[in-house]
Structure 1
Amino acid sequence: MTTSVPAQSADRPLVELREVSRAYGEGGPPALAGIDLTVMAGESLAVLGPSGSGKSTLLHLIAGLDRPSGGRVTVDGLRVDRLGEAASARYRRSRIGMVFQFFHLLDDLTVADNVLLPAQLAGVPRAEARHRAAELLARLGVARHADAYPGRLSGGERQRVAVARALMNRPPLLLADEPTGALDSASGDGVRELLASLNADGQTIVLVTHDLRLAEACATRTVELVDGRVAAEAAA
């Protein structure tokens, strides 16, 4: 069973950043300084770099959670840097999925209801949403926990649930912020294998990480940021 990744033409850019900068306050160095970056549909890009290099800022700009001080951010043909608050929320519901280091699951909802939440917010019919959630939980190996609450799951299992939630609305782009950062070695290995499998099925992924094993396992290309600039780039 697959996750039914949206059909994407591998010869087109899905993410384009042009001369993107982001400064906070006055006088200090910018978090990003004139970044140019393209991610093609079907790629898995790992963004590496030390703390403070601009990795999370880059991810937030792609997600529409922040706006650049200058430059253009285009995702799936949409100028994300021009979106207002309501349009940004719609964009995140329909075009991206997000996975975080600390899962961000709702402890008072069951696993199934956590996964269903994005579909409910998007107005997907309940029967269709429940079928999709069941498909994802089975694909990601956590179907037996559908009626459990997140607090009863291991870290690796919670991250798999978070990935299922992120994929619920079939987003063209999956963003992952340190997805193995809060996991033990065995759980981290499972998430690395999962992300590699998703990319092999056609899911476009952009992740930021300190985990070189994650980049080696599931990235088709790596970019290293230093002081808000691209310092190195390589095919994995």
Structure 2
Amino acid sequence: MTEPVIELHEVSRRYDGGPPALDSVSLRIAAGEAVAILGPSGSGKSTLLNLVAGLDRPSSGTVSVDGVRVDELGEAASARYRRAKVGMVFQFFNLLDDLTVADNVMLPAQLAGMARDQTRQRAADLLGKLGVAQHSRAYPGRLSGGERQRVAVARALMNRPALLLADEPTGALDTASGEDVQQLIKDLHADGQTIVLVTHDLALARACATRTIQLVDGRVAADTAMNRVR
């Protein structure tokens, strides 16, 4: 069997002695899958994403991503892991307003020590592919929400990550911009990118995901293969 990009084994996460945010979750996600994590607020979606990203550690169990035992990493190693293995896209973009679009996109590569000429070329290629090259010298505040999310995706892809994590990527967008980003996610998956998408939006999951995982009270309630809406 092909080795999974993500493997969680009996993962639980408790905070301050309360009920578990995640409770004995085990799952495997293969390379090239587009998986949507669904569930109501408080179901454990964000906790799961944070554990995979190395932003949090499980109380018990193991988390492996692309051959890395993420649950064993210290703070500095976690930062290196995210730069090398994970691209992250957030609901509110998290772009730096005092940097140009191009500089925002180049930042992960600069932190990873990529040569400056390579960094500039990679950023230009991504911005062109994602349809926002004309804004490379602009500042994020001058762009629409959909354009800012495209820039955020370019930044997330800068270091060619094995995994793209998206947390409510259309949640702050109007309908037209949301549909634009939805199509972008579908295109990225068609190009072979492994994607884990956290969302409340079942329509987004149906459009973008090949599989959905439903969380309820920190447990996997359903794990379903999807026929995507075209």
- TM-score band by shorter chain is over 0.9
Distance in 2 (CA, whole Å) between partners of 1:216 and 1:67 is 30
Counting matched residue pairs gives 226
Task: Give the corresponding residue for 1:4.
Answer: none
Q: Residue type matched to 1:199 in 2?
A: H
Q: How do 1:59-98 residues align onto structure 2 when only pairs under 5 Å count?
A: 59-98=49-88
Structure 2 residue matching 1:35: 3-state secondary structure: strand
Q: 2:16 aligns with which of 7, 25, 28?
A: 25
Q: Which runs of 4+ in 1 moved over 2 A?
A: none
**Are 2:2 and 1:14 aligned?**
no
Q: Residue type matched to 1:221 in 2?
A: R
Task: Give the corresponding residue for 2:122.
Answer: 132
Distance in 2 (CA, whole Å) between partners of 1:211 and 1:142 is 26
Q: How do 1:38-57 residues align onto structure 2 when only pairs under 5 Å count?
A: 38-57=28-47
Structure 2 residue matching 1:230: 3-state secondary structure: strand
Output one character per residue of 1:77-101: Cα deviation in whole Å (capped at 9) or x when no partner. Answer: 1100000000000000000000000
Distance in 1 (CA, whole Å) between partners of 2:194 and 2:123 is 20
**Are 2:89 and 1:102 aligned?**
no
Q: Please, which runs of 5 or more residues in structure 1 have no aligned partner?
A: 1-9
Distance in 2 (CA, whole Å) between partners of 1:229 and 1:223 is 10
Distance in 2 (CA, whole Å) between partners of 1:11 and 1:193 is 28
Q: Residue type matched to 1:43 in 2?
A: E
Q: Residue type matched to 1:124 in 2?
A: M
Q: How do 1:1-236 residues align onto structure 2 when only pairs under 5 Å count?
A: 11-26=2-17, 28-236=18-226
Q: How many Å apart are 1:12 and its aligned residue?
A: 2.6
TM-score calculated relative to the size of structure 1: 0.95
Q: How many Å apart are 1:200 and its aligned residue?
A: 0.6
Distance in 2 (CA, whole Å) between partners of 1:105 and 1:172 is 22
Distance in 2 (CA, whole Å) between partners of 1:71 and 1:180 is 31
Structure 1 residue matching 2:5: 3-state secondary structure: strand
Distance in 1 (CA, whole Å) between partners of 2:150 and 2:11 is 32
Q: Please, which runs of 5 or more residues in structure 2 have no aligned partner?
A: none
Distance in 2 (CA, whole Å) between partners of 1:101 and 1:92 is 18
TM-score calculated relative to the size of structure 2: 0.97
Output one character per residue of 1:36-94: Cα deviation in whole Å (capped at 9) or x when no partner. Answer: 01100000000000000000000000000000000000000110000000000000000
Q: How many Å apart are 1:226 and its aligned residue?
A: 0.3
Distance in 2 (CA, whole Å) between partners of 1:156 and 1:57 is 26
For the aligned residues, what is the CA RMSD? Answer: 0.8
Distance in 1 (CA, whole Å) between partners of 2:145 and 2:28 is 32
Q: Residue type matched to 1:134 in 2?
A: A
Q: How many Å apart are 1:201 and its aligned residue?
A: 0.3
Q: Residue type matched to 1:117 in 2?
A: L
Output one character per residue of 1:142-166: Cα deviation in whole Å (capped at 9) or x when no partner. Answer: 0000000000000000000000000
